Amino acid sequence: MIDPSDHLVVDCDYHYADTFTQAAPYMPEPWRTKFEKSSWGGTGVKQNLSAFFPASTGNRFNYGKIDRDFSEYPDGGDDKDDVIAAMDHLDIDVTLQISHLILAMGGVKADDRRVESFIKGHLEYMFEEVLDPDEGIYGLAPVPYHDIDASMDILDRVEGEETIKGIVMVTAGASPPLGNRKYDPIYKRCEDLGLPIVYHTGGSGLDEYVRAGYEEMVETHTLGFLESNMSQIVSVTAQGVPEKFPDLDIVFMESGVTYLPGLISRLNEEYLKRAEEAPLLNKLPGEYITDYYFGTQPLEESARPDLLEICFDMLGTDKLLYASDYPHWDYDDPSVITDLPMIDDEARKDMLGRNAVEVFDL
């Protein structure tokens, strides 16, 4: 087994624990005034997270299975020093930072500009305070995909920024699904910029899950992250996004890997029965999906080893990217890759960092 401290480790899904206090001074008006003068910043009307992005019940910090010394657990971050400390703690050389707060964007129903405004504030804060190639800290820029013009503004802003290595589309709550032609201008612009699309899951909260009536987060956290990504994999593939934009790299994050053989098999089976409904495809849907990249977190360590071996064989270890999901308590450290018994050291090195160097042009 290899030692991750001896090899390049790239964390493709590190969540920056951003706050509205940080982002508010960089937001466009009227949002800047609204939130700088709130209870976060001084006087005025009380504002909190639920006043901006819908909140959700369900405590993902309840834990049992994972044996971890939390007295040595770095906070992970709401400033740059926290990120550096966590990288040292995990023996990670490079991180790709994703806003934690933006994962709730799918719950926004109002026809206003809060998502766009938050993204703009978040990015300017990250540019000024956090992102630093010398420390191996890069960013993934979210786009408010429900508003194409606003998304194009974000893409214009990040063009040429060496610290931005990809674009994030949150998969929970997308309507219409992200394979719809509505989003083609975003995909075309990203293809031209050479920036991969990172589809990041969400939607696991007890009250914000797509179906009502579940009683415990163990249920919705099992289903939500999976369902959000599965729905977009099917949409993006069946609607021919990889055919329309052949130079666009596609990445899916934070739903593990064991669901993919079943999804691929089912979609292939449906396609063989009604191929005329996916006229842009020139091969089986599964052949496109196995060209996508997938973050490994949360890697299903409790799965039968032969099932994981099937997943790795079907997807290819050259398409798998180490991801920690830090600073969430149930993060995966690099040992989830180095301890895998069914792959060789070269495959481990690919998954730990070399694949990420290729797809994110690091």
pLDDT at 56: 61
Phi, psi of 258 (to 5 degrees): -75, -15
- Mean pLDDT, range 233-254, rounded to an integer: 98
pTM: 0.93
- Of residues 341, 351, 333, the one with CA closest to residue 76: 333
Contact predicate 335/4, CB 8 Å = yes
Using DSSP bridges, classify how beta strands 197-200 and 164-170 pair: parallel, antiparallel or unpaired. parallel
- Mean pLDDT, range 164-181, rounded to an integer: 96
Average pLDDT value over all residues in the chain: 89
Residue 181, token pair as written in the block = 């032609």
pLDDT at 119: 96
3-state per-residue secondary structure call for the chain: CCCHHHCCCEEEEEEECCCHHHHHHHCCCCHHHHHHCCCCCCCCCCCCHHHCCCCCCCCCCCCCCCCCCHHHCCCCCCCHHHHHHHHHHHCCCEEEEEECHHHHHHHCCCCCCHHHHHHHHHHHHHHHHCCEHHHCEEEEEECCCCCHHHHHHHHHHHCCCCCEEEEEEECCCCCCCCCCHHHHHHHHHHHHHCCCEEEECCCCCCCCCCCCCCCCHHHHHHHHHHHHHHHHHHHHHHCCHHHHCCCCCEEEECCCCCCHHHHHHHHHHHHHHCHHHCCCCCCCHHHHHCCCEEECCCCCCCCCHHHHHHHHHHHCHHHEECCCCCCCCCCCCCHHHHCCCCCCHHHHHHHHHHHHHHHCCC
* All domains of the chain in start order, with CATH: 4-359 (3.20.20.140)
- Mean pLDDT, range 18-39, rounded to an integer: 80
Phi, psi of 11 (to 5 degrees): -95, 110
| Residues β-bridged to residue 17 | none
Confidence check: pLDDT of 195 > 70: yes
Phi, psi of 230 (to 5 degrees): -60, -40
Report, in angstroms and rounded to the nearest whole number, the Rg of the chain calculated over CA atoms: 20
CA distance linking residue 50 with residue 56, whole number of Å: 9
HSE at residue 269, side-chain half, CA atoms within 13 A, is: 6
pLDDT at 134: 98
Interval 98-123: pLDDT, tens: 999 898 888 787 888 989 999 999 99
pLDDT at 39: 47
pLDDT at 40: 47
| Residues β-bridged to residue 99 | 16
**Is the Cα torsion angle 88, 94, 100, 104 positive or negative in sign?**
negative
Interval 265-318: pLDDT, tens: 999 999 999 999 999 999 999 999 999 999 999 999 999 999 999 999 999 999
Q: How far is CA 175 from CA 41, 108, 145, 170, in A?
A: 34, 12, 10, 11
Interior angle at CA 202, CA 64 and CA 83, nearest 5: 70
CA distance linking residue 290 with residue 46, whole number of Å: 48
Residue 158, token pair as written in the block = 């990040």
pLDDT at 163: 98
Contact predicate 252/222, CB 8 Å = no
pLDDT at 77: 59
